[in-house]
Structure 1
Amino acid sequence: MKAILAAGVATLAMIASPAAAQDRQGDVQVKILATGVLPDGKITEFDTDIVGLPAGTQTKANDNYVPTVAIEYFFTDNVSLETICCVTQHDVDGTTGLPGAELVSDAKVIPATFTAKYHFPTASIKPYVGAGVTYFLWVDVEPGAATIPLGVTKTTLSDEFGFVLQAGVDVPINESAAITFDAKRYFVDTTARWYAGNTLAIQTEHKLDPWVLSAGVAFRF
């Protein structure tokens, strides 16, 4: 009788162990991604304009595609905290009023981002939603080619906090790897300033609000 009970316990342990391993392979997940950053960039307000921009002047920031890395810590099987690492570069061009004019050149931004995520407890694919905060840190901004003949010597974009919404899905390949698809929508603005020497010539408020779309592979440790 003892032998039968021991065999039963051993069998239950063998059945339960793979299930537990499948539910939770580790606390840390690293994602290697190809990412498209698709910002808006339109002007929402004119604060200063001593140059006399044409009426109806409007702008658009260009899209960019970069490699990114995401690192995620799981507090439970369903709740995690994620941060991403990347630098993305954008120009800002005129669309109306100054169509095609390059106003900002090679502006590089680090979008420091943290999102809290909830992973739905499904059996196969692993969908999730998330929300969090971001801080856009501009590390290099150059005057656009169209502004230099106007006497512009320096251009800046203000660092700003914002909010992020997120959704995606991880599709397991095996116990520790997955294909992953992710979409984030950022809500963040910036103040653009153009200087002629020490004189503030133009100051405008811009809506950035980029979509950030990613696909890649995930490894859980």
Structure 2
Amino acid sequence: MRKIVAGFLVALAIPFSMNAQDDQTMDYDSYSKWQVRLRGVVVAPDESATIEAIGGDVDISTSVIPELDITYFFTKNIAAELILGTTKHDVEATDTAAGDIDLGSVWLLPPTLTLQYHFTGGDFKPYAGAGINYTIFYGAKEGPVADDVDYDNSVGFALQAGLDYNLNDKWFLNVDLKKIFLSTDATVDATSALGATVGADVDINPLLIGFGVGYRF
């Protein structure tokens, strides 16, 4: 009788054991394909310029902006992220033959697409990525000296590293660093003040430091 009862209990235990193993496999293999993050981002240019005729350099202000990103996971480790945001910067030509020149301000719209590798295991999930950026310059204000300032849209590369910290299965905190290698050709119409139009090759190369919250679905 004891053997029969023991055999019955073993038979009962087998399906539960198999289900538990299946659940563990599902937890390991399953992942959320989509996630979104909302960050506050410090945009800190690492600027320099080569200015025709009058020489000098450039100073571009730091800004703080909101940023939205959308990430799609091809596997639990490999993902693509589209980063969306817009930023406004004050621009000044410095140490030129005509002194420091206030060149007003300009808005940048720099959508950036990166391919990422996400490390798995535990609540801390670091990642690294690289990708491409296309920056659109718009809303330029020429300031009190120039008659007009024009910036060429440009393509650049981006590097990225970050860390997600899980609060639960859906919500997480995020820290993110991006370096965008961004240059533009600027044309300053300074006919009224200097009697000339001045061209400049400008490297902006901003560092983006972001802190935010994300949601998986």
TM-score (norm 1): 0.84
The equivalent residue for 1:136 is 135
Instruction: Give the C-alpha shift of residue 6 in structure 1.
Output: 5.1
Give me the whole-angstrom Cα distance separating, in 1, the residues matched to 2:26 and 2:214: 19
Superposition pairs for residues 32-47 of structure 1, below 5 Å? 32-43=38-49, 45-46=50-51
Q: Deviations over 1:134-193 (max 9, x none)?
A: 001112211122x2xxxx321111100000000000000001111100000011100110
The equivalent residue for 1:172 is 166
Give me the whole-angstrom Cα distance separating, in 1, the residues matched to 2:11 and 2:72: 39
Q: Which has the larger radius of gyration?
A: 2
The answer to whether the 8 A contact 1:171-1:178 is kept is: yes
RMSD: 2.3
Match of 1:216 among 188, 212, 216: 212
Does 2:35 match 1:29?
Answer: yes
Q: Deviations over 1:75-106 (max 9, x none)?
A: 00000000011110001123434666422x23
Unaligned residue ranges in structure 1 (runs of 5+): none
The equivalent residue for 1:93 is 92
Give me the whole-angstrom Cα distance separating, in 1, the residues matched to 2:107 and 2:131: 22
Instruction: Give the C-alpha shift of residue 2 in structure 1.
Output: 7.1
Q: Deviations over 1:17-68 (max 9, x none)?
A: 266347644210000110111112321x23x43xxx3x5x211110000111
Give me the whole-angstrom Cα distance separating, in 2, the residues matched to 1:177 and 1:6: 38
The equivalent residue for 2:13 is 7
The answer to whether the 8 A contact 1:93-1:99 is kept is: no
CA shift in 2, pair 1:6/1:119, >3 Å: farther
CA shift in 2, pair 1:206/1:5, >3 Å: farther
Instruction: Give the C-alpha shift of residue 131 in structure 1.
Output: 0.2
The equivalent residue for 1:195 is 189
The answer to whether the 8 A contact 2:31-2:76 is kept is: no
CA shift in 2, pair 1:88/1:19, >3 Å: farther
Percent identity (aligned): 27
Number of residues of Structure 1 aligned to a counterpart in Structure 2: 207
TM-score (norm 2): 0.86
The answer to whether the 8 A contact 1:36-1:214 is kept is: yes
Give me the whole-angstrom Cα distance separating, in 1, the residues matched to 2:48 and 2:109: 20
The equivalent residue for 2:114 is 115
1:175 aligns to what SS in structure 2?
Answer: coil
CA shift in 2, pair 1:116/1:200, >3 Å: farther
Give me the whole-angstrom Cα distance separating, in 2, the residues matched to 1:19 and 1:38: 44
Instruction: Give the C-alpha shift of residue 14 in structure 1.
Output: 3.4
2:165 aligns to what SS in structure 1?
Answer: strand
Give me the whole-angstrom Cα distance separating, in 1, the residues matched to 2:122 and 2:200: 50
The answer to whether the 8 A contact 1:25-1:175 is kept is: no
1:144 aligns to what SS in structure 2?
Answer: coil
